[in-house]
Amino acid sequence: MIWLILLPLLWASLAFISGEGRGKWLAIGGLSGQTWLAFDLAQTVGAGGVAVEHLVGGWGAPLGIDLAADGLSAAMLVLTQCVALPLAVYAGAYYKRGEVAGAYFWPLAGFLIAGLNALFLSADLFNIYVTLELVGLAAVGLVAAGGGAQQVAAALRYLFATLLGSGLYLLGVALVYGGYGTVSISVLTPLVTSEAPRLMWIAGGLMLIGLMLKTALWPFHFWLPPAHGGAPAPVSALLSALVVKASFYLVLRLWIGPFAPLVAAAEWLAWGPAVLGTLAILWGSWQAIRAERLKMLIAYSTVAQLGYLFLIFPLLTGADAVQAGVMQAFAHGFAKAGLFVAAGVFIKATGQDTVAGLAGTVDRLPITLFAFGLSGMTLMGLPPSSGFLAKWLLIETALDRGYWWLVLVVLAGGLLAAVYVFRVLRQAFLQAPANTSLAAVPRTLEWTAFVLAAVSVLLGLRGVELMQLVGVMR
C-alpha cells in the first residue's frame, strides 16, 4: 500500500522534469497502476476483515509514523483513484498543446493525489497535517494556474481559508501533543477518556472548526463557489469530487477515533454538524437554483451535497451511519466529477459559461447531455443510482434512531436538486437561436463525462461490497 503514495510522488516529479505541459502518459500510466493497487488493498482489507498496517522506518508508534488502512481508508482510496483516472484522460484532451493553464497541471495533480493517498493512509496526527498542506497547496496552485485576475483572487481566498483551516488543525495537534506526549492515533485513542483535561476539548474544537472550514461546510463555504466555479473543468472536478472529501474523512476519523469518548460525554455536540449540514443543503440548493453561470450552479450544488455528509454525525452510534456517509461520498464524487466535465464540454462547445447559452445543445452533444442527466439523477437520488442508495441508508438509519426531521431534510434536498438539474436540462432542450454555432469538441471529453456519470449510477448496484468493506474498522 506504500506504493499508493510513492507512485504519484514519482510521476509528479518526473512530469515536472519533463517540462511544461508534458507528463500526460506518465500520469495515466501511474494512475492505472494506482487504481489496481487500491482495488488490491480493498480486496485484502475486505477479505481479511482487519486493517493493514505499515510501520514506516520499522520503528512503530509512538517513536515512528504508522500507516494503516482499514475499510474506510481503503474505500476512500478506491474513490480517489477511480475518479482521478478518468479525469486524467479528460485533462489530457482538454488542455491544448502549449496552453498556459495546463503548463503545470500534471505535476500539481500528481502531488495532489499523492497528498490525498497519504492522508487516507496515515495514522499519525502530525503526518496528517503535512499531507493536508500538500493537498491544500496543490489545490490552490491548480485553481490559480495561468488564470486571469479573477481566478487568482479566488485562489488567494481559497489559500487563506485552507491555511487558516490547517493552522487551526495544527494548533489542535500541538495541544494534543502537549497533553499526551504523542501524535499517533493508535497510541492516543486508549489514553483519552471522558474525563480528559480541558485542553483536549479545546484541541478537538479547534481541529473540528479548521476541518469544517476546509470542507466548506455552511457557513464556511464562502471560498468554495468562486474557487471551484472559476477553475478549469478538470480542476473543478478534482477539487469538488475529492479534495473536500479528504477533510470530511478526517473529521469522521477523529470523531469516531480519539475524540469518541468526548463526543459520547456530550451527545448534543453531534447536532452542531447536522444543523449546519441541513442549512448547507437548503442554502446551497437555493443558490444553485438561482445561479446564472453553469459552473457556479454546479459549485453551489457541491455546497449542498456536502451537507448530507454532516447529517450522519448524530447517527454515529452504529456502523451503518459511516456506511451511509461513505456511500454519499462515492455518489457525490462520481456524479460531481461527471457534472463538471460535462460542463467543461458545454463551455468548450458554446464558448460561454452560462445556463442560458445551453439552448440547442441536445442535438449536437447528446452524449454529454445524457451524462449530465445521469449525474443529476444521482444527485436527486433516483433509483438505482448510488445517490438513491446513500439517501436510502441515511433515511433508514435516521428512522431507526427516531430522528424523523432528518428524513424531511433528505427528501427536501432531493427535490431541490431536481429543480436545479431540470433547469439545465430544460434549457438544453430549447430551440437554439438561429445564428448560434457550436465548436467541435474532442470525443474523449464527451465519453469520459459519460463514463463518470454511468459509474455514479451503476455503483448503486454494487453497493453491498462497498458497505462490507467500510464495515472493517481500525
Phi-psi region of 66 (alpha: psi -120 to 50; beta: other; left: phi over 0): beta
Task: Using CB under 8 A, pick the residue from 80, 127, 186, 328 that binds other proteins.
Answer: 127
State yes or no: residue 50 binds other proteins (CB under 8 A).
Answer: no
- Joined together, the cell numbers standing for residue 30 give 501511474
CA–CA dist 445, 348 (Å, integer): 10
Beta strands in 39-159 (DSSP E): 52-56, 65-69
| Of residues 321-350, those binding other proteins (CB under 8 A) | none
In the set 65, 243, 322, 335, which binds other proteins (CB under 8 A)?
65
Dist CA 473 CA 189 (whole Å)? 14
Closer to other proteins at the Cβ: 175 or 432?
175
Residue 403 near residue 359, CB atoms below 8 Å? no
> How far apart, in whole angstroms, are the C-alpha atoms of residue 125 and residue 177?
9
Q: Which three cell numbers stand for residue 278?
A: 441541513
Q: How many residues make contact with other proteins (CB under 8 A)?
A: 58
| Binding range to other proteins, per CB under 8 A, among 34-42, 172-180, 287-295, 382-390 | 172-180
Least distance (Å) between residue 55 CB and other proteins: 6
- Looking at residue 440, what DSSP letter applies? P
* 146-to-98, 103, 141 alpha-carbon distances in Å: 12, 8, 9
Among 29, 48, 49, 178, contact with other proteins (rule: CB under 8 A)? 178
C-alpha to C-alpha distance for 300 and 104, rounded to whole angstroms: 27
Among the listed residues 25, 33, 44, 54, the single contact to other proteins using CB under 8 A: 54
Give the residue, chosen from 28, 44, 52, 56, that forms a contact with other proteins under the rule CB under 8 A. Answer: 56
Helix axes 294-310, 319-350, angle to 10 degrees: 180
Minimum distance from CB of 197 to other proteins (Å)? 5
The three cell numbers of residue 225 are 463557489
Complex with other proteins: residue 179 or 314, whichever CB lies closer: 179
**Backbone dihedral angles phi then psi of residue 63, each to the nearest 5 degrees:** -70, -50
Torsion of CA 372, 375, 381, 383, to 10 degrees: 100
Quick check: 95 binds other proteins (CB under 8 A)?
no
Binding mask 181-220 for other proteins (x = CB under 8 A): xx----x--xx----xxxx--x------------------
- Of residues 63 and 266, the one with the C-beta less far from other proteins: 63
By CB under 8 A, the residues from 104 to 123 that bind other proteins are 104, 107-108, 111, 114-115, 118
Any long-range contacts for 176-182 (C-beta under 8 Å, 24+ apart)?
Answer: 176/125, 176/200, 176/203, 176/258, 177/125, 177/126, 179/203, 181/62, 182/61, 182/62
Of 33, 44, 99, 126, the one binding other proteins by CB under 8 A: 126
**Nearest Cα residue to 432 out of 372, 366, 362, 368:** 362
Q: How far from 298 is each of 180, 226, 302, 421, CA to CA, in Å?
A: 43, 11, 6, 9
- List the interface residues with other proteins, window 129-168 (CB under 8 A): 130-131, 133-134, 137-138, 140-142, 144-146, 152, 155
Least Å distance between CB 399 and other proteins? 39
Q: With respect to other proteins, which residue has the nearer C-beta, 106 or 372?
A: 106
**Residue 6 makes contact with other proteins by CB under 8 A:** yes
The cell for 236 is 473543478
Question: How does DSSP classify residue 267?
Answer: G
- Binding range to other proteins, per CB under 8 A, among 51-59, 246-254, 272-280, 337-345: 51-59
Judged by beta carbon, residue 137 or residue 329, the one nearer other proteins is 137
What are the phi and psi torsion angles at 66 (to 5°)? -100, 145
Residue 433 CB: number of other CB atoms within 10 A? 9
Residue 130 Cβ, how far from other proteins at the closest point, in Å?
5
Q: Kindly tell me which of 181 and 351 has the beta carbon lying closer to other proteins.
A: 181
- Give the nearest distance from C-beta 109 to other proteins in angstroms: 11
Which residues 20-39 are close enough to bind other proteins by CB under 8 A? 20
| Footprint of other proteins (CB under 8 A) | 2, 6, 9-10, 13, 16-17, 19-20, 54-59, 62-65, 100, 103-104, 107-108, 111, 114-115, 118, 126-127, 130-131, 133-134, 137-138, 140-142, 144-146, 152, 155, 175, 178-182, 187, 190-191, 196-199, 202
